Chains A and B, each alone.
Chain A
Amino acid sequence: MSEASGSLRTLEADAAARRIRRNWLLSLPALALLLVGASGPLLIVLVYSFLKPGDFSGVIWEPTFNAWFQILFSRDIFDDTIGLADAHLTIFWRSVRLSLSTTLITLLLGLPTAYFIATRSGRQRMFWLFLITIPFWTNLLIRTFAILEMLRNEGIVNNALIDLGVITEPLQILYTDTAVLIGMSYVYLPLMVLPLYAAIERLDFRLVEAGYDLYANRVQVFRRIILPIIKPGIVAGSILVFVPSLGAYVTPRVLGGGKNMMIGNFIELQFGQGRNWPLGASLSILLLFIVMAALLLYVRASSREEPHG
C-alpha cells in the first residue's frame, strides 16, 4: 500500500519535472529576448549611474556616487554648502501627485463606464468596448496635440465657456498641472476601463440581488458587495494607470510646457541639455524602483485576497 503510493508519487514527480523542462525549453526564446533586450540596457544604465558626467555628453569612466547624491542634494556653487535639491523634490512631488490624481480621476470615470458596458447585452458590449479602444489606434502625440488645441486660450473649451457666459476672460489651462492632469486622464482612461470591465463582467449579479434581499440599499450593495469583489480589477487598473503616468513624457512635455516637468521630462533633460547622463541614469533606476514598489504592493494586495470559489 505505502509502496504503491510511494511509486505513484514518483511518477507524478517525474511527470511534473518533464513538464517543467518542456516549459523551460518553450520559453527559452522569450527569455533570451528579455535578457538581451531588457536586462542589457538596464545594466548599462545602472553602471552609468555610478560614473562621472562627461564634459559635453556621455560619461567619464570614474566610479562615484555623485549622481545618486545629486538626486536629493545640491552643492552650492559659491560656498560649497550642501542643501536639499528643492527643484528635484518639486518635480518628484508633482510627478507622484499628478500620477495619483490621474489614477483617481480615471478610476472615478472608469468605474461607471465599465459598469455600464458590462451590463449591456452582447452586441452592444462589443460596440462600446470597440469605442474605448479606438484611441489606441492613433498616435499619442497627435492625440495630445488635439487636447492642446482644445485647451488653449482660443480653444473650444474656453470659447464655449465664454459663449455660455461662465467666464469673460479665457482661462489659462494650457501649460498648467491641470492641463497635464486632463491630458493624462484622457490618455490612460482606457487602461483603467478595460480591467474594470473584465472584473465587473465576471461579477455574479445574483450576489447583488442577494444583497438587496438582505436589506442592503444601493450604496451598501456597492460598498459591501460589488467593490470588494471587483477589487482585483480596481488594483490592476490603478497600477496600469499609475505606472505609465509616473514615467509620462509626451503629455507633460506638450501640455505642461517646459516648466511643469515630470520625472520623465527631467530624465530626458539630463541626457540632453543637462549633459548629466549619470544623473539621468540614477533617476531612471529610481523610477524603476518606485514602479517595482507599486507592483509589489499590488501583488501583496491581491495575494492577501481571500480564497474565492
Chain B
Amino acid sequence: MSDVAVSAQSITKIFGPTEGGLRALDDVSVDIRTNEFFTLLGPSGCGKTTLLRMIAGFETPTFGSIILDGKDITTDPPFRRPVNTVFQSYALFPHLTVAQNVGFGLEMRGKQKSEIGAAVAEVLALVRMEQMAERYPSQLSGGQQQRVALARALAPRPSVLLLDEPLSALDLKLRKQMQIELKRMQLETGITFIFVTHDQEEALTMSDRIAVMSAGRILQIGAPREIYNAPANRFVADFIGESNFLPAEVEGPAAVKLGNGASAPAAMPDGLGAGTRVTVAVRPEQIDVCPEAEGILSGTIAELVYFGTDMHAHIDLGDGATLVARVTARSDAGLEKGGRTGIRFATGALRVVEETA
C-alpha cells in the first residue's frame, strides 16, 4: 500500500454549463495519507460534500482526477470503489434489521453467510450495538442510528471511510462522546478516515490533518496545531478559533508598527519589505490586560462578556479598531465597562496574515 490513500488532482467541479455554471470546486489538489484522520473543514457551501461525493463516486469531476491507492478511479461507479460512506442522514435501509443493514455491503460482495455473521457481530461490538442487532432503524434513537450507519460503512473494511458531517444531528453531549469513539475506531481499524465538518472545534480535536476550505478552494492543509498557530491567511485565522485583526506596517524582518506607532515583534512570511501595509492577527487568549501605563496599546473597555471560566473584554482602541481579549474570571480585578486599560501581547502572539479576497 502506498503512503497516499487518496489523491485528488486538480479537481474542478462545475454544476450546470461548463461556461458560467456554478463552480463548486476550483482546482483542488490534496493528498490524503494512508491511515490518517483527515478532515475537510469549511463553511456551508464551500464544496466539502462535493469533494467527498467525488471520492465516493456519486459525482464525476468536470476536470481533474481521483487516485485511490495508486489507481485512477475518476470514472469508476461507486459500487466498484473500496470506499464507504457514512451519510449525514444515515440513510439506513428501513426494511432491514440492524444486522442486515450492517451485513449488506459484505453480502453484495458475495461473502459467505457465516463470514458475514461473524463480521457483523464484530463491527456491532466495535460500535457497542450488539444488543440491537434484530431491531429496525425506526426503533433506534438518533445516536444509535448513527452508530449503525458507522458500523454498516465499516463492515466491508473499506480502504477509505468517508464521513459527511456524521455528528451534526446529535446533541452536544452525545456529539462529544461520539467524537472520542470515532477517533478510537479509526485507531482500532486503521482505516483512512476522511471527515467533513463545519465545526472547527470538532476538526481540531479529532484530526491528524485538516484542509480548510472556502468557496471551492483549499486554503491551507496542516496539522491542527499548525493551522491554529500559524494560519496562512485571514480566512483561516478567522475561521479556526477566534482572531483579532489589526492594521500594521512592516518595520523589519520580524517586527511591525501598530496603529498607534508602537512597534511589536510579529511572525511574517519572507519577502515583505519595510513599509508594506499588512494585517496582523492575534488570538484573544494571547492578549493580556494590564495597567494603562504598562501596555503597548491602550483602550476603553466597551463590553465585558462573561461565560463561565473566562470573560471576553471588548476593548475599543480609539482608532476605530476593537480587540477582544480573553481574561480568566479570577483575574478580572479592576476591569469594568467604560474603564481604561492597557494591552500587552504574549510572545509570538502577532502574526502577519495574507488578506483573503
Residues of A bordering B, CB below 8 Å:
204, 206-207, 209-217, 220, 224-225, 228-229, 306-309
Residues of B within 8 A of A229 (CB): 93-95
From B79-87, B237-245, B261-269, the one touching the partner chain is B79-87
Of the candidates B78, B136, B137, B138, the one whose C-beta lies within 8 Å of that of A213 is B78
Question: Is A214 touching B105 in the complex (CB atoms < 8 A)?
Answer: yes
With both beta carbons as reference points, the residue of chain B lying nearest to A217 in the complex is identified as B79
Interface members, chain B 126-182 (any A CB < 8 Å): 136-139, 152-153, 156
B109: chain A residues within 8 A (beta carbon): 215
Query: Are A216 and B95 CB-contacts (below 8 A) given A206-B87, A306-B136?
Result: no
| A215: nearest chain-B partner, CB-CB | B108
Collect the chain B residues with CB atoms within 8 Å of residue A204's CB. 89, 91
Contact B79 A216 (CB under 8 A): yes
Q: How far is the CA of A307 from the CA of B58 in the complex (A)?
A: 29
Closest chain B residue to A205, Cβ basis = B91
The reply to whether B105 and A306 contact each other, CB–CB distance below 8 Å, is no
Q: Which 8 A-B pairs have the closest CB atoms?
A: A309-B138, A214-B105, A215-B108, A210-B91, A212-B78, A206-B91, A228-B95, A216-B108
> Once the chains bind, are B93 and A207 in contact (CB under 8 Å)?
yes
Residue numbers in A under 8 Å from B56 (CB-CB): 213
- Flag if A215 contacts B95 (CB, 8 Å): no
Given contacts A210-B91, A211-B93, A217-B79, 13 further A-B contacts (CB under 8 A): A210-B92, A212-B57, A213-B58, A213-B85, A214-B108, A215-B156, A225-B93, A229-B95, A306-B95, A307-B138, A308-B94, A308-B95, A308-B138
B104 within 8 A of A: yes
Are the C-beta atoms of B137 and A309 separated by less than 8 Å? yes
In the complex, the number of residue pairs spanning A and B with C-beta atoms less than 8 Å apart equals 72
A216/B89 contact (C-beta < 8 A), A228-B95, A307-B136, A307-B139 known: no
Once the chains bind, are B137 and A209 in contact (CB under 8 Å)? no
23 example contacts (A-B, Cβ-Cβ < 8 A) are as follows A206-B87, A206-B89, A206-B91, A209-B91, A210-B87, A210-B92, A210-B93, A211-B104, A212-B58, A212-B78, A213-B84, A213-B153, A214-B79, A214-B153, A215-B109, A216-B104, A216-B108, A217-B108, A220-B108, A229-B95, A308-B136, A309-B94, A309-B137
B52 to chain A, nearest CB (A): 11
- How far in angstroms is the closest Cβ of chain A from B106? 9
The answer for the CA separation of A207 and B93 in the assembled complex, in Å, is 7
Chain A residues near B247 (CB-CB < 8 A): none
Shortest beta-carbon distance from A139 to chain B in Å: 41
What are the interface flags for B89-112 relative to A under an 8 Å C-beta threshold, 1 for contact and 0 otherwise? Answer: 101111100000000110011000
A206 to B84, CA, bound (A): 14
**Closest CB in chain B relative to A121 CB, distance in Å:** 14
A225 proximity list for chain B (CB < 8 A): 93
Residues in B neighbouring A308, C-beta threshold 8 A: 94-95, 136, 138
State the CA gap A220–B85 with chains docked (Å). 18
Chain A positions within 8 Å of B108 at CB level: 214-217, 220
Q: Using Cβ atoms and an 8 Å threshold, which residues of chain A touch B139? A: 307
Task: Chain B residues near A307: list those with CB within 8 A.
Answer: 136, 138-139
List residues of chain A with CB within 8 A of the CB of B275: none
Q: Is the CB of A214 within 8 A of B89?
A: no
B339 partner residues in chain A, CB cutoff 8 A: none
**Complex interface: chain A residues within 8 A of B58 (CB):** 209, 212-213
Name the B residues within 8 Å of A220 (CB-CB).
108
**Is B77's CB within 8 Å of the partner chain A?**
yes
Give every chain A residue within 8 A of B94 (Cβ-Cβ): 207, 229, 306, 308-309
- Whether A210 contacts B85 by the Cβ 8 Å rule is yes
Q: Chain B residues with Cβ under 8 A from A206's Cβ?
A: 87, 89, 91
- Chain B residues closer than 8 Å to A228, beta-carbon distance: 95
Q: Are B78 and A209 in contact, CB atoms less than 8 angstroms apart?
A: yes
Shortest Cβ distance from B104 into A: residue: A214
Decide: A214 and B95 in contact? CB cutoff 8 A: no
CA distance A229 to B95 in the complex (A): 7
Among A214, A220, A308: residue with most chain B CB under 10 A: A214
In the bound complex, residues from chain A placing their C-beta under 8 Å from that of B153 are 213-214
| Most chain B beta-carbon neighbours within 10 Å: one of A207, A215, A229 | A215
Alpha-carbon separation in the docked complex, A209 to B56 (Å): 10
Report the separation of the CA atoms of residues A225 and B84 in the bound assembly, to the nearest whole angstrom: 17
Asked whether A214 lies within 8 Å of B91 as measured between CB atoms, the reply is: no
